[in-house]
Chains A and B, each alone.
Chain A
Amino acid sequence: MSPTITWATAKRVLTQLSHDHRTVAMLVLVPSLLMVLLRFVFDEDEIFDRIALPLLGVFPLIIMFLVTSVAMLRERTSGTLERLLTTPLHKLDLLLGYGIAFALAAALQAGVATATAYLLLGMNTRGAWGWVVGVAVSNAVLGMALGLFVSAFARSEFQAVQFMPLIVLPQLLTCGLLIARDQMAGWLGAISNALPMSYAVEALQEIGEQAEVTGTLVRDLTVVLGATVIALALGALTLRRRSG
Chain B
Amino acid sequence: MEAAVEVADLVVSRGGKEVLHGLSATVSQSSVTGLLGPSGGGKTTLMRCLVGVQIVTGGSVRVLGEPAGSVALRKRVGYVTQSPSVYADLTVRENARYFSSVLGAGDTTADQVIVDVGLKEQSAQLVSTLSGGQRARASLACALLGEPELLILDEPTVGLDPVLREELWEMFAALAAAGTTIVVSSHVMDEAGRCDRILLLREGNLVADDTPDALRRAAGTEDLDQMFLTLIRQRAEVA
Residues of A within 8 A of B (CB): 4-5, 8-9, 11-12, 15-16, 19-20, 78-80, 82-89, 241-244
Contact A86 B74 (CB under 8 A): yes
Residue in contact with A244 in the complex, picked from B55, B75, B83, CB distance below 8 Å:
B55
Question: What mask results when residues 94 to 112 of chain B are scored 1 for a CB within 8 Å of chain A, else 0?
Answer: 1000110111100000000
Contact B81 A19 (CB under 8 A): no
Residue in contact with B55 in the complex, picked from A11, A79, A242, CB distance below 8 Å:
A242
Contact A80 B55 (CB under 8 A): no
Q: Which residues in B have their C-beta under 8 angstroms from that of A83?
A: 79, 81, 85, 99, 142
Question: What mask results when residues 56 to 83 of chain B are scored 1 for a CB within 8 Å of chain A, else 0?
Answer: 0000000000000101001101010101
Q: Which residues in B have their C-beta under 8 angstroms from that of A82?
A: 53, 81, 85
State in angstroms the CA–CA spacing of A170 and B55 once bound together. Answer: 37
Q: How far is the CB of A1 from chain B (nearest CB, A)?
A: 12
State in angstroms the CA–CA spacing of A83 and B99 once bound together. Answer: 10
Contact B53 A244 (CB under 8 A): no
Q: What would 19 more interface pairs be, CB under 8 Å, given A16-B89, A78-B83, A86-B51?
A: A5-B101, A5-B102, A12-B94, A15-B90, A16-B90, A19-B89, A20-B89, A78-B85, A79-B83, A79-B84, A82-B85, A83-B142, A86-B69, A87-B99, A88-B75, A243-B53, A243-B55, A244-B54, A244-B55
State in angstroms the CA–CA spacing of A83 and B95 once bound together. Answer: 12
Residue in contact with A86 in the complex, picked from B77, B88, B98, B104, CB distance below 8 Å:
B77
Q: Which residues in A have their C-beta under 8 angstroms from that of B169?
A: none
Contact B102 A87 (CB under 8 A): yes
Contact B54 A19 (CB under 8 A): no
Q: Which residues in A have their C-beta under 8 angstroms from that of B14?
A: 244
Q: How far is the CB of B24 from chain A (nearest CB, A)?
A: 21
Contact A8 B98 (CB under 8 A): yes
Residue of A nearest to B98 (CB): A12
Residue in contact with B54 in the complex, picked from A5, A16, A89, A243, CB distance below 8 Å:
A243
Contact B101 A8 (CB under 8 A): yes
Q: How far is the CB of A151 from chain B (nearest CB, A)?
A: 16
Q: Which residues in A have their C-beta under 8 angstroms from that of B55?
A: 242-244
Check: B173 CB closer than 8 A to any chain A CB.
Answer: no
State in angstroms the CA–CA spacing of A5 and B54 once bound together. Answer: 25
